[in-house]
């Protein structure tokens, strides 16, 4: 017969109580049931745990077993608590990778609300480009991705979060400011164009010709807007990629309703989301609902 956790718990309560009646009351059992379990425990050990039937004094073996039992019971309780907290999303670890514009616009609110409800969950956030988000997911280094991708690997689950419109980004004193709004793609032809990673998502042939003719490609949005601000050229970005507090650049709407960036929530098909991961996705959706991109 193997030693069971109930045996250890029964013995520890009897040792603390000093008698069977009080121990049985604490355990919610009859004294005879408690006595039988102790007898089975002692039969298995081949020696007595108590010096007398009164259960008031422990033998040397009893003192040793009590010390080990307390340690095992504490560990068991901690294990049970950890499992229950994990199942209720009260504990765990969530790794998120997001494109910078979405990380800046949505994640602060999502993280604030999530931490308020699930303070025991650890969160790791990385702001990286869409291609790297996908690569990190495929390698199992993140649990959730927020990115804009035209094609996915077979192992990736894709759920639409929202979409925002593309627009022309230029300095406030640029001649395009005087063009009729919304801007048509051909109006960009006279000006130096700075390409970026999201330009490939715009399918219009006229725009693609402008993009392919670009002599400068900048993939980091912070660097890109700084170069546009310096007057090197103009670019096209989604609305959320342009900081709302930006006071030196204009965001001009374009006359192409199909020119929108779609942001998806991405996860692996090969790994069931933990309760904490699912709860964080819910927080992201709630936060995104308060943002209405132009």
Looking at residue 177, the DSSP 8-state letter turns out to be G
- Please indicate, yes or no, whether residues 284 and 155 belong to a single structural domain of this protein: yes
Least-confidence region, from 1-15, 82-96, 139-153, 272-286: 82-96
What is the extent of the structural domain holding 14?
5-87
CA dihedral 234, 239, 244, 246 (to 10 degrees): 0
Q: Is residue 294 part of a domain?
A: no
- Please indicate, yes or no, whether residues 181 and 250 belong to a single structural domain of this protein: yes
- Please indicate, yes or no, whether residues 40 and 81 belong to a single structural domain of this protein: yes
Alpha-carbon distances, residue 39 vs 8, 49, 152, 206 (angstroms): 12, 9, 63, 88
Q: Is residue 145 part of a domain?
A: yes
Least-confidence region, from 79-88, 89-98, 207-216, 226-235: 79-88
Q: Is residue 293 part of a domain?
A: no
Q: Is residue 252 part of a domain?
A: yes
Of 87, 117, 149, which marks where a domain is finished?
87
* Polymer length in residues for the chain: 294
Of 70, 87, 104, which marks where a domain is finished?
87
* Tokens matching residue 127: 């702001």
- Please indicate, yes or no, whether residues 123 and 172 belong to a single structural domain of this protein: no
- Please indicate, yes or no, whether residues 12 and 122 belong to a single structural domain of this protein: no
Q: What percentage of the chain carries pLDDT values higher than 90?
A: 67
- Please indicate, yes or no, whether residues 169 and 254 belong to a single structural domain of this protein: yes
Element (H, E) at 146: strand 144-147
Q: Are 37 and 10 in contact (CB under 8 A)?
A: yes
Q: Are 41 and 92 in contact (CB under 8 A)?
A: no
**Residue ranges of E strands in 156-248:** 156-171, 194-195, 216-217, 235-238
- Please indicate, yes or no, whether residues 152 and 265 belong to a single structural domain of this protein: yes
Output the average pLDDT for the chain: 90
CATH number at residue 105: 3.40.190.10
Taking the C-alpha atoms of residue 79 and residue 83, their distance in angstroms, rounded to an integer, is 6
- Please indicate, yes or no, whether residues 101 and 125 belong to a single structural domain of this protein: yes
Q: Is residue 20 part of a domain?
A: yes
- Please indicate, yes or no, whether residues 158 and 267 belong to a single structural domain of this protein: yes
Q: What is the pLDDT of residues 115-133, one digit of tens each?
A: 999 998 999 999 998 889 9
Q: Are 281 and 100 in contact (CB under 8 A)?
A: no
Q: What is the pLDDT of residues 279-288, one digit of tens each?
A: 999 999 999 9
Phi, psi dihedral angles at 119 (to 5 degrees):
-65, -15
Reported as a pLDDT band with limits 50, 70 and 90, residue 82 is low
Burial (CB count within 10 angstroms: exposed 0-12, middle 13-18, buried 19+), residue 203: exposed
- Please indicate, yes or no, whether residues 192 and 229 belong to a single structural domain of this protein: yes
- Please indicate, yes or no, whether residues 265 and 158 belong to a single structural domain of this protein: yes
Q: Tokens 């109006």 sit at which residue?
A: 187
Contacts of 248 (CB under 8 A, 6+ apart): 171, 172, 229
**For the chain, how many structural domains are there in total?**
3
* Tokens matching residue 44: 């298995």
- Please indicate, yes or no, whether residues 19 and 103 belong to a single structural domain of this protein: no
Contacts of 211 (CB under 8 A, 6+ apart): 193, 195, 199, 200, 202
Q: Is residue 56 part of a domain?
A: yes
CATH number at residue 20: 1.10.10.10
Handedness of CA 194, 196, 200, 204 (dihedral sign): negative
């Amino acid at each position: 017969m193997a030693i069971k956790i109930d045996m250890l718990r029964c013995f520890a309560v009897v040792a603390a109580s000093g008698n069977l009646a009080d121990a049985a009351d604490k355990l919610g059992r009859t004294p005879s049931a408690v006595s039988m379990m102790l007898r089975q425990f002692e039969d298995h050990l081949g020696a007595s745990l108590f010096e007398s039937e009164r259960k008031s004094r422990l033998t040397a073996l009893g003192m040793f077993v009590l010390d080990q039992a307390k340690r095992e019971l504490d560990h068991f309780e901690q294990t049970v608590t950890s499992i229950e907290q994990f199942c209720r999303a009260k504990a765990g670890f969530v790794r998120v990778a997001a494109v910078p514009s979405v990380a800046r616009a949505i994640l602060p609110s999502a993280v604030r609300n999530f931490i308020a409800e699930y303070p025991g969950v650890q969160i790791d956030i990385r702001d990286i480009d869409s291609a790297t988000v996908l690569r990190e997911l495929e390698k199992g280094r993140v649990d959730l991705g927020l990115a804009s991708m035209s094609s996915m690997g077979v192992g990736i689950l894709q759920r639409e979060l929202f979409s925002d419109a593309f627009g022309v980004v230029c300095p406030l004193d640029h001649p395009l400011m005087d063009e009729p709004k919304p801007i048509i793609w051909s109006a960009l032809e006279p000006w130096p164009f700075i390409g970026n990673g999201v330009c490939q998502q715009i399918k219009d042939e006229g725009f693609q010709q402008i993009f392919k003719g670009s002599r400068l490609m900048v993939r980091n949005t912070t660097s890109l807007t700084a170069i546009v601000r310096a007057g090197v050229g103009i670019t096209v970005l989604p609305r959320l990629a342009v900081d709302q507090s930006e006071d030196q650049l204009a965001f001009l709407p374009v006359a192409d309703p199909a020119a929108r960036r779609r942001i998806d929530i991405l996860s692996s098909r090969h790994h069931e989301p933990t309760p904490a991961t699912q709860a964080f996705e819910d927080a992201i959706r709630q936060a995104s609902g308060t943002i209405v991109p132009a």
